[in-house]
Amino acid sequence: MYPIERAEQLNAEVTRMVVRAPEIARKIKPGQFIMLRIDERGERIPLTMNDCDPDAGTVTIVFQAVGATTKRLAQMKPGEALHDFVGPLGNPTELEGVRRACVIGGGLGTAIAYPQAKWLYDHGCEVDVITGFRTASLSILEDEIAACSARQIVMTDDGSNGNKGLVTQALQQRIDEGADYDLVLAVGPVVMMKFVAATTRPYGIRTLVSMNPLMIDGTGMCGGCRVKVGDEYLHACVDGPDFDGHLVDFDDALRRGVMYRSFEDEARAAATG
């Protein structure tokens, strides 16, 4: 069993939870994820690591209460424990040698992009972080990002926090200002990642995107997480979750996302009666 040490709401939809899992905390790296189950009959859900503390033996996850399982998870309190907490899964993000990076988080993707920004900052990289949210009340992790970035640019759809507009507008502006990135890393909605990749393509800037399709087993067996990259289908769970943004077929990913959403909606309706 994996005890919950802390849990707090970051906004009305998003929870940050610190889980005691010493083995994983020793090994997990930015970009990798875990699969958890609340109890032995529960659904397995993948969640990307937000932070870890190898000395304390804890792993931090941040999640949005959108499905039946994440809604149950959001109601759990310190002192309760998770039945399974398996990982680290997937590959760490390739960050070695990067000198100037722009890390982009859209919505909850900000929590997933945070450990990469922190790792880069801790290893001497100049890091710009651009985050995008629908509105101010959904903004998360501003203090944490301020502590590990040379520049933090917040964008909101309605202009209620930071600047009004899209993350791609802020990215284009930074490029126009002469920002000489050797890596752009984007984590967020597929549409956002698609347009980040389209923004960097003309400049040939190495661009990584973190794909988060439906995952069932997390071990390459079920085929649920396939992503079209170049001419081949790869598995986000064992080949990713990061891929070259200039090779990912985002339209295919969007089609598959829509296909699965109807299954998820049915599962949620069944679970909630």
User: By CB under 6 A, is residue 221 in contact with ligand FES?
Assistant: yes
Number of residues that bind ligand FES (CB under 6 A): 12
* Residue with tokens 């590959």, as numbered in its chain: 91
Question: Does 14 show up as a binding residue in the annotation?
Answer: no
Q: Is 265 exposed, middle or buried (0-12, 13-18, 19+ CB in 10 A)?
A: exposed
User: By CB under 6 A, is residue 218 in contact with ligand FES?
Assistant: yes
User: By CB under 6 A, is residue 216 in contact with ligand FES?
Assistant: yes
Interface with ligand FES by CB under 6 A: which range of 99-107, 122-130, 213-221, 251-259? 213-221
User: By CB under 6 A, is residue 54 in contact with ligand FES?
Assistant: no
Interface with ligand FES by CB under 6 A: which range of 73-81, 144-152, 176-184, 212-220? 212-220
User: By CB under 6 A, is residue 105 in contact with ligand FES?
Assistant: no
CB of residue 221 to ligand FES, shortest distance in Å: 6
User: By CB under 6 A, is residue 269 in contact with ligand FES?
Assistant: no
- In DSSP notation, the chain reads -EEEEEEEESSSSEEEEEEE-HHHHHH--TT-EEEEESSTTSPPEEEEEEEEETTTTEEEEEEE--SHHHHHHHT--BTBEESEEEEEESPPP--TT--EEEEEEETTHHHHHHHHHHHHHHTT-EEEEEEEESSGGG---HHHHHTT-SEEEEEESSSSSSEES-HHHHHHHHHHTT---SEEEEES-HHHHHHHHHHHGGGT--EEEE-----SSSSSSS-TTEEEETTEEEEHHHH-SEEETTTB-HHHHHHHHHHHHHHHHHHHHHHH-
User: By CB under 6 A, is residue 179 in contact with ligand FES?
Assistant: no
Interface with ligand FES by CB under 6 A: which range of 52-60, 176-184, 223-231, 255-263? 223-231
Between residues 45 and 127, which has the closer beta carbon with respect to ligand FES?
45
Question: Does 225 show up as a binding residue in the annotation?
Answer: yes
User: By CB under 6 A, is residue 45 in contact with ligand FES?
Assistant: no
Give the x-and-dash track for 136-155 against ligand FES (CB under 6 A).
Answer: --------------------
Backbone angles phi, psi at 237, to 5 degrees: -70, -35
Question: Does 125 show up as a binding residue in the annotation?
Answer: no
Between residues 198 and 222, which has the closer beta carbon with respect to ligand FES?
222
Q: Which of 215, 227, 248, 253 binds ligand FES (CB under 6 A)?
A: 215
By CB under 6 A, name the binding residues for ligand FES: 215-218, 220-225, 235, 237
